[in-house]
């Protein structure tokens, strides 16, 4: 089972993660950065998983959902890594899935996900701040817990000693800051 959670080698790529609470602009920014750098981005598999599972009706996450979501996320990432150029922008990763799992299930995260969340390597994390308007979409459910969730995400990065930059402001400011960071960091 562990092979499902392991990154495939891609030494030609720099993998960047868009990381943070729901409704903070991660997907938009991943798409914008991929377009700017003429490369690919990895969508959030959890969204597709729940949309299919719940078919537009209200649903509730379960512990048994965590493994298939993590498998799907890594499968997408490994597929996109084969075709991406220079950068691969990941709209979530196993560390984000770990944070959500622990937040929703009282500290529970399957051990294999916790292990690979720390082992899989990314060059940089863009931690998206909560200064964007929260938008309901049928899947998002923590509008009143944004600050707490942001703190959990930042704590996970600090504890795992992952390199990160906090992005704040509107879409344009975030995009410009991300490009500036990538151009000077690269």
As beta bridge partners, residue 119 has: none
CA distance 31 to 33: 6
Of 65, 89, 59, nearest to 77 by C-alpha is 89
Question: Quick one: pLDDT band at residue 137, thresholds 50, 70, 90?
Answer: low
Residue 65 to residues 33, 101, 133, Cα–Cα distance (Å): 29, 9, 28
CA distance 14 to 126: 13
| pLDDT, average across residues 21-50 | 93
Question: Quick one: pLDDT band at residue 23, thresholds 50, 70, 90?
Answer: confident
pTM for this one? 0.92
| pLDDT, average across residues 7-18 | 92
CA dihedral 94, 40, 174, 22 (to 10 degrees): -40
pLDDT at 21 over 60: yes
Q: What is the pLDDT of residue 165?
A: 98
Helices (H), the chain: 26-36, 45-54, 63-83, 94-104, 111-119, 146-159, 171-185
* Domains contained in the chain, CATH given: 2-185 (3.40.50.300)
Q: What is the DSSP letter of 105?
A: T
């Amino acid at each position: 089972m562990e092979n499902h959670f392991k990154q495939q080698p891609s030494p030609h790529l720099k993998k960047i993660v868009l990381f943070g609470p729901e409704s903070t602009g991660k997907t938009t920014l991943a798409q914008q950065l991929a377009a700017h750098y003429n490369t690919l981005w990895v969508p959030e598999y959890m969204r597709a998983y729940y949309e299919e599972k719940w078919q537009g009706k209200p649903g509730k996450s379960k512990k048994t959902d965590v493994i298939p979501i993590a498998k799907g996320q890594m499968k997408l990432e490994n597929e996109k890594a084969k075709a991406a150029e220079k950068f691969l922008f990941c709209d979530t990763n196993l560390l984000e899935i770990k944070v959500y799992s622990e937040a929703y299930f009282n500290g529970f995260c399957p051990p294999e996900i916790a292990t690979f969340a720390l082992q899989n390597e990314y060059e940089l994390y863009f931690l998206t701040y909560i200064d964007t308007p929260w938008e309901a979409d049928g899947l998002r459910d923590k509008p009143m817990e944004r600050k707490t969730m942001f703190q959990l995400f930042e704590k996970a990065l600090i504890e795992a000693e992952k390199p990160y930059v906090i992005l704040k402001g509107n879409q344009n400011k975030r995009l410009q800051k991300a490009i500036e960071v990538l151009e000077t960091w690269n």
